[in-house]
Amino acid sequence: MTIPKVKKEEQLNLESLTWGDLTWVNIERPTERETKYLAENYPFHPLDLDDCLSRIQRPKIDEYKDYLFLVFHFPVFSKEARVTTPGQLSVFIGQNYLITLHKGELKPLVKLFKECQIDEESRQENFSQGSSYLLYRIIDRLVDYCLPILNKIGNNIEQVEDNIFSSRRLPRAIEEISTLRRDVIAFRRIIWPMRAVIGSLEPKVRRFTKTDLAVYFGDMVDHVDRIWDGLDEYKEIIEGLNDTHDSLANNRTNEVMRILTIVATIFFPITLVASIWGMNIPLPFQRSSYSLLYIILIMAGIIGGMLYFFRRRRWI
């Protein structure tokens, strides 16, 4: 049995793992030192190495004679900002090697590399069928990692839905809806270009393995499509919740305005009565000892009559 080799290059943020003829080089937070090392030891195009250091690149596949250069984006949820941000993964794949470059925020990738370091069965399972299968295992884990993030968005949508129909939380619901909408839009912007890249990946990496991986990559494409369908569904739900919130808010505002209008309408005639009897001119009941009682009864009669009228017209 071939003994796997695990080593960490001196002064480089680089780890490599070899099993049989296949070597996996994992680089977290790459700098110019790491790209210079790759340029000296591999036949990579300088533009591809520059792309590894750029802040953001569109997902793509660059095909060369001896290798492929791949760029992937996967969602990383930020708890502080409550929004999904893209985590970039750059990959060089050749016949006997696979090189991954990332910022260390893609937890499934970091976990898989550690598993291969410490577990013999994991190394054999992931390395035995060539670099193409190892790439599949990495991408498949990262795609599956999208599902918990998608479920988290679904749970947040359910919570917002409950808040919308709670009168105490209605004023804050619009802020929560806006946050969810931003999160879904950010997620969709990550997944949309990834669908084309992953969908066309299997025919291009087929030359690096003797195993037929069409079924494996087809299953991974199905997972990506399921994620996209879920995002489409959440987008429609959020739009519906926004319309529902607007309807409830407008109805609540109309209810308040209706009550205030009724109160103002009732107080207008009794204010008029109080103003007339407050003038310094001779008026009925002014000299009576019961003048205040008469005025109060007149006001009460006006209020009662208006309330009866409003009730008959079904305004209240």
Spatial separation of the C-alpha atoms in residues 299 and 207, rounded to whole Å: 95
Residues 6+ apart with CB under 8 A from 292: none
Q: How far is CA 308 from CA 165, 219, 262, 274, in A?
A: 33, 70, 12, 22
Spatial separation of the C-alpha atoms in residues 301 and 37, rounded to whole Å: 95
Q: What is the DSSP letter of 313?
A: T
What's the pLDDT score for residue 256? 85
62 contacts 200 by C-beta, under 8 angstroms: no
Spatial separation of the C-alpha atoms in residues 251 and 173, rounded to whole Å: 15
Spatial separation of the C-alpha atoms in residues 50 and 83, rounded to whole Å: 28
Residues 6+ apart with CB under 8 A from 27: 13, 14, 15, 34, 99, 100, 101, 102
8 contacts 117 by C-beta, under 8 angstroms: no
What's the pLDDT score for residue 260? 87
Q: Could you give the 3-state DSSP secondary structure of residue 67?
A: coil
Spatial separation of the C-alpha atoms in residues 176 and 57, rounded to whole Å: 30
What's the pLDDT score for residue 139? 94
pTM for this prediction: 0.77
What's the pLDDT score for residue 1? 37
Q: Could you give the 3-state DSSP secondary structure of residue 63?
A: strand
Per-residue pLDDT of the chain (316 residues; tens, 9 = 90+): 344 444 444 578 888 898 888 999 999 989 899 999 999 999 999 999 998 887 777 899 999 989 999 999 998 877 776 677 888 999 999 999 999 999 888 899 999 999 998 888 888 888 888 899 999 999 999 999 888 888 888 888 888 888 777 766 666 778 888 888 888 898 999 999 898 899 899 899 988 888 888 999 999 999 999 999 999 999 999 888 888 878 887 888 888 888 888 888 888 888 888 887 777 667 676 666 677 787 888 888 888 888 888 888 887 7
Spatial separation of the C-alpha atoms in residues 162 and 111, rounded to whole Å: 36
Domains in the chain (CATH in brackets) are 5-249 (3.30.460.20), 255-312 (no CATH)
Alpha helices in 9-130 (DSSP H): 32-41, 46-53, 107-118, 120-127
Spatial separation of the C-alpha atoms in residues 20 and 3, rounded to whole Å: 8
What's the pLDDT score for residue 288? 66
What's the pLDDT score for residue 97? 93
Phi first, then psi: give them for residue 313, nearest 5 degrees: -85, 0
